[in-house]
Amino acid sequence: MTDETSAVVARGLRKTYGRTTALDGFDLTVPRGTVCGLLGPNGAGKTTALRVLTTLLRFDAGHARVAGHDVTRRPERVRAAIGLTGQYAAVDETLSGRQNLVLFGRLRHLPARMVRQRSDELLDQFGLTDVAGRSAATYSGGMRRRLDLAASLITTPEVLFLDEPTTGLDPRSRNGLWDAIRTLVTGGTTVLLTTQYLEEADQLADRISVVDAGRVVAEGTPAELKTRFGADRIELVVRHAGQLPAAAGLVERVTGGQVHVDRETRRLSAPVADRITALADLLRALQDASIAVEDVVLRRPTLDEAFLNITGHGASERTEVAA
């Protein structure tokens, strides 16, 4: 995939606020029709990157193209091709849901009749028809997010930017929003979303870019990241507590990794490189040593573990530095 045909291309973006470096050589390529998840702790630079790519923020160095248009030189072309749904629902609270959609449609210079028809369709799709005449200030958090997403879809955007689209939503609203996003992608829209939720990235994204300290530090499909940065683990439960030390010795010899021992539950665990071979070797060794086990499990790594290994800290452990 070359730079010209990609939906989003960022090369060496830098952005500083005073002494804070928000973007520090940020590189990103998102192929058309895919969902890319920007994953990172608070203050990693995800939102700054999104604001730069959506023409809301100027940057100090580097260059960026969105939907084939240069972000600095042709911002109006970029704006015509994108939709943005922000971290804080960006709707006019005083206006009703329908008035909001009509306003944003008219500001996209669509014919008045098309705007009205499209607004009604969207209100229906997002389950807002019943409250269409009420001021958005009276909406629940989930309704506001839905209205916000609907406002980004009055025309089908080539690239849709979602900044933490489900932060603060209950699980049901979250699933609903995920479904809507998936449906959009089947229609050919490229999605770039930021999230702190590993599950969200795992569920939605084709590829994940892990952002830390203003740059992309790892990139790949969720499965690739898990395999590359997380390790499979083998876990076993020994029947007799007295055999724990002997079992731990065996596990260490077979896996070559550091063994974690939990005396309370008589559970041993250790990372393994070649899962099936390790499992077979270990079972044989245990049998030879006459150590009885109650349970043996091979556990796939989670995105959480991969994330922890990449950034050296958890997804939401860092304090906020800059928006």
Partner 1 sequence: MSTTVEMVRRPSSGAEQAPPSGALGRLRWAVVDGWVMTGRNMRHVIRSPEEIVLYFSLPIMFVLVFGYVFGSGMAVPGDGSYREFLLPGVFVMTMLYGLGATASQIAVDTGRGVVDRFRSLPMARSALLTGRAGADLLRALLELTVLVVCGLLVGWRWRNGVGDALAAVGLILLLRLAFTWLGILLGLLVPNPDTVSVIVFPFAFPLTALSNVFVAPELLPDWLGAIAAWNPLSATVAAARELFGNPGTGGESWAAQHALLLAVGWPVLLIAVLAPLAVRRYQRLSR
Residues in contact with partner 1 by the rule CB under 8 A: 51, 54-58, 76-77, 79-82, 84, 86-95, 99, 103-104, 106-110, 114, 118, 121, 124-127, 135, 146, 151, 154-158, 176-177, 179-180, 183-184, 187
Sole residue written with tokens 């590359």:
228
Q: Which of 51, 47, 38, 27 is nearest to 320 (CA)?
A: 47
For partner 1, the closer of residues 26 and 229 by Cβ is 26
Distance of CA 43 to the CA centre of its chain: 15
- Min dist CB 203 to partner 1, Å, is 15
- Min dist CB 18 to partner 1, Å, is 11
Sole residue written with tokens 């896996």:
255
Q: Is 132 left (phi over 0), alpha (psi -120 to 50) or beta?
A: alpha
Distance CA 111, CA 105 (A): 9
Strand partners, 69: 66
- Min dist CB 12 to partner 1, Å, is 20
- Min dist CB 214 to partner 1, Å, is 17
- Min dist CB 201 to partner 1, Å, is 21
**SS3 state of residue 218:** strand
For partner 1, the closer of residues 39 and 184 by Cβ is 184
For partner 1, the closer of residues 146 and 207 by Cβ is 146
For partner 1, the closer of residues 174 and 215 by Cβ is 174
- Min dist CB 64 to partner 1, Å, is 14
Find the helix or strand (DSSP H, E) in which 83 lies: strand 82-85
- Min dist CB 320 to partner 1, Å, is 17
Determine the residue type at 222. P
For partner 1, the closer of residues 84 and 254 by Cβ is 84
For partner 1, the closer of residues 87 and 196 by Cβ is 87
Tokens representing residue 247 in the block: 């079992």
Please name the residues in contact with 113: beta carbons below 8 A apart, sequence gap of 6 or more: none
Is the Cβ–Cβ distance between 127 and 140 less than 8 Å?
A: no
Distance CA 15, CA 22 (A): 6
Distance CA 164, CA 126 (A): 19
For partner 1, the closer of residues 95 and 283 by Cβ is 95
